[in-house]
Structure formats: C-alpha cells, structure tokens
C-alpha cells in the first residue's frame, strides 16, 4: 500500500516567462509552495501578480508566447506514485488523465468555460465519458446527480438547457459540477466568485467548502479578496509580481501579517466597525512586468521602505520567521519593532 504524502502537490522553483516584442517577461519567478491533502490553499494578490499563470502551469495550460522555463510540480496522487507534471509529454495519456480527472479547474468566467451551442448535459457527460468507463445512460445519471448536489433544482430537466438559459450563479454551479463530476483529488478555482453578487458569492463559497469536506479533496483557490480567504482557506500564500512574499496558515496571516504588502491588503478591507473615514489603500499600482524594480519589488509602494536596503541587489528570499510562517522582506524584524512601537504610543 502506498504511503500517503502530507502534501497533494509541491511546486518548486517554478518559473514562467512570456516572450514578447519587448523581450522576456517573467510572470512567475521562483515560486515555491505546497497544497496539503484535504485542505484549501489560497493564493492571493492584486491582478497581474502571477496567480492565474501559476494555476494554469499546474495543468500545463500555458500557451505561446508563454513558456514554463524551469521548476517542478510534483503531484502525489492517492492511488499512484508521485510524478512531476512538468516532465510529462504535452500529448501523453498521463497528462490527459490528470486534466479533468485527478485535477480539475473552475475557470474565472463561466460563459467562456461553457460552449454556447451545446447543452449542459452534453458538456458534463463528455467530461464523465472521457475519464470514466461508464455508459451514456450512466453518465447522464451521474451528471444529474452532480447538478443536484451543487444546488440546481430540477437537475434532470436542466441537463437539456443551454448556458444562456441560466443565470450567472447557476452557470457557475454548472462549471463547478463539471469540475467535480469525476471526483478530482485537486480542484483549482480561479476567481470562482468574481462576477457574482455578494449573496450568490456566499452560496458558492459554502458549496465549495461543503463539497471539499464531503469528497476529502484539496482546493487551490486563486483570489484577490482576503475576505474570501478568511472564510474558506486553511493555508495562504501572498503573491506579488510573480513571487511569493508571505506564506502561512490563514489564522497567522490574518492575526500577525509580517510582510508590508500583506499588511496593506488587510488594512484595505472594509470593516463594520469603521467610522466615516477614508478606506486605507496601498499607494500606487502593480508595476509592469517589463519594469520590475531592483531589490524588493514592493519597495516603491512600501511605507517601511529604507533607501540602499530595500532597493538594492536581488529580491529577498522567502525565509522562515516562525513555525510554518515564511516572509520575503529585507526588514522583517525592524518593521515588526516599528509596528509594536506605534501600538505602544497609542496606548
């Protein structure tokens, strides 16, 4: 019997570049993190930080002019030996078995993930027939059962509907059903609630968490919303300009953030206890990948920036500051002392 690894997926030194007229653009640069078995791992950051590119790399969905330059993506399936997904052939049977079978993905916009000229039933049944040895009748029954499980009423009849006949929330549930119908070990959810209103967003998040517990699978959640992360995630990796700048469990990130970028993201969250004051924000915007600053990439926007320390040399490495807590910052301890000093002054 194979010994179960504590992590379902290990990403090591992943580098992804896009080759444009302006030269090589490093969208993901030396990314390292793991997705634990049976847990929800969230990768959070602003748009343009490399979150989706990292997710697409897991399923080898990076297309030209993009290219995975280096790294390892070690998958530890429950029923087989570990394998490096990046070493599989682009048209190999093993890779096709993983895509949609052992690892599924919920794409950001359900209308682009669903074919407008095929019924919901046809699309879900196709996924079942590719990855499972069942008849068409069995596939249709399984599809209806999964639609019912994700909360779609009258699921059997809904199989004959087209995507345009459904609301945004219902389409998102269909996409989740399609991703879950083969009972994957890992579900990649790329901004699964971005286009939904707050009420439907809460329902979708609860649905994903319930299914994750029922099927004992892992989820990689890609989002820019730390409020969503606080509700559902177990582990968090904060990403900025293609690098992981902080990684820990969700409680530590929320209660004791150590990187200035994470601190800024948390401060920018609205609160019910806030008075009529301006909502804090991180100054500036994410720089272009063609013009990444020297030293720490975040230093032009950082309130704790120190000249000749933060803007010199290579970016800081991701180092342990506590048990299960890694931070990439040149001034981690000094910033902590500055924050503690300000808190004492307030008291």
Find the length of the chain.
347
30's torsion region: left (phi>0), alpha (psi -120 to 50) or beta?
left
SS (H, E, C) 6-64: CEEEEEEEEEEEEEECCEEEEEEEEEEEEEECCCEEEEECCCCCCHHHHHHHHCCCCCC
At 299, give phi and psi (nearest 5°): -60, -30
Q: Which residues pair with 26 in a beta bridge?
A: 17
Using CA atoms, how far residue 273 sits from 65, 77, 192, 231, in Å, is: 47, 45, 28, 18
At 103, give phi and psi (nearest 5°): -130, 125
SS3 267: helix
Q: Where are the alpha helices (DSSP H) in 160-197?
A: 168-180
Cβ–Cβ under 8 Å, residues 87 and 70: no
At 69, give phi and psi (nearest 5°): -90, -35
**First-residue to last-residue Cα distance in the chain:** 58
Neighbouring CB atoms inside 10 A of 137's CB total 9
Cβ–Cβ under 8 Å, residues 7 and 35: yes
SS3 250: helix
DSSP-derived letter for residue 102 is: T
**Closest of 232, 220, 244 to residue 9, by C-alpha:** 220
Neighbouring CB atoms inside 10 A of 97's CB total 16
| Local confidence pLDDT in tens for the 347 residues of the chain | 345 668 999 999 999 999 998 889 999 999 999 999 999 999 999 988 999 999 999 999 999 999 999 999 999 988 778 999 999 998 888 898 898 889 999 887 766 788 999 999 999 999 899 888 899 999 999 999 999 988 889 999 999 999 999 988 888 889 888 988 888 999 999 988 776 777 777 888 888 888 888 888 999 999 988 888 988 999 999 999 999 999 999 999 999 999 999 999 998 887 656 565 677 888 888 888 888 899 999 999 999 999 999 998 899 999 999 999 999 999 998 888 877 766 556 55
Give the separation between CA 218 and CA 200, rounded to whole angstroms. 22
Give the separation between CA 35 and CA 27, rounded to whole angstroms. 21
**Would you call 200 exposed, middle or buried from its count of C-beta atoms within 10 A (0-12, 13-18, 19+)?**
middle
In which residue are the tokens 């039933």 written? Answer: 121
β pairing state of 218-223 and 186-190: parallel
The pLDDT tens digits for 288-316 are 888 889 999 999 999 999 999 999 889 99
Give the separation between CA 63 and CA 184, rounded to whole angstroms. 24
**Would you call 111 exposed, middle or buried from its count of C-beta atoms within 10 A (0-12, 13-18, 19+)?**
middle
DSSP-derived letter for residue 322 is: E
CA 7 to chain centre: 16
Is the bond into 167 cis (omega within 30 degrees of 0)? no
At 28, give phi and psi (nearest 5°): -130, 125
């Amino acid at each position: 019997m194979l010994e179960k690894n504590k992590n379902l997926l290990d990403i090591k030194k992943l580098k992804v570049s896009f080759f444009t007229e302006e030269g090589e653009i490093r969208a993901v640069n030396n990314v390292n993190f793991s997705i634990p078995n049976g847990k929800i791992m969230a990768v959070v950051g602003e748009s343009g930080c490399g979150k989706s590119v990292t997710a697409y790399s897991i399923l080898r969905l990076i297309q030209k002019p993009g290219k995975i330059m280096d790294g390892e993506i070690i998958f530890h399936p429950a029923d087989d030996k570990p394998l490096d997904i990046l070493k599989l052939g682009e048209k190999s049977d093993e890779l096709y078995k993983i895509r949609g079978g052992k690892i599924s993905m919920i794409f950001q916009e359900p209308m682009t993930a669903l074919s407008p000229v095929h019924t919901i039933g046809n699309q879900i049944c196709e996924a079942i027939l590719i990855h499972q040895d069942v008849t068409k009748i069995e596939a249709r029954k399984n599809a209806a059962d999964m639609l019912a499980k994700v909360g779609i009423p009258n699921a059997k009849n809904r199989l004959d509907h087209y995507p345009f006949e459904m609301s945004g929330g219902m389409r998102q549930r269909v996409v989740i059903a399609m991703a879950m119908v083969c009972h994957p070990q890992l579900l990649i959810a790329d901004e699964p609630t971005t286009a939904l209103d707050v009420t439907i967003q809460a329902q979708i998040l609860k649905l994903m968490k319930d299914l994750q517990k029922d099927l004992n699978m892992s989820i990689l959640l890609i989002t820019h919303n730390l409020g969503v992360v606080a509700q559902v995630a177990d582990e968090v990796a904060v990403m900025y300009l293609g690098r992981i700048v902080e990684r820990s469990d969700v409680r530590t990130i929320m209660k004791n953030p150590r990187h200035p970028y994470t601190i800024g993201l948390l401060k920018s969250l609205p609160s019910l206890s806030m008075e009529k004051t301006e909502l804090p924000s991180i100054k500036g915007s994410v720089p272009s990948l063609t013009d990444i600053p020297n030293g720490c990439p975040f230093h032009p926007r950082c309130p704790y920036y120190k000249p000749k320390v933060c803007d010199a040399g290579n970016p800081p490495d991701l180092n342990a500051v506590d048990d299960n807590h890694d931070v990439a910052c040149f001034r981690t301890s000094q910033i902590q002392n500055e924050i503690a000093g300000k808190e004492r002054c307030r008291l």
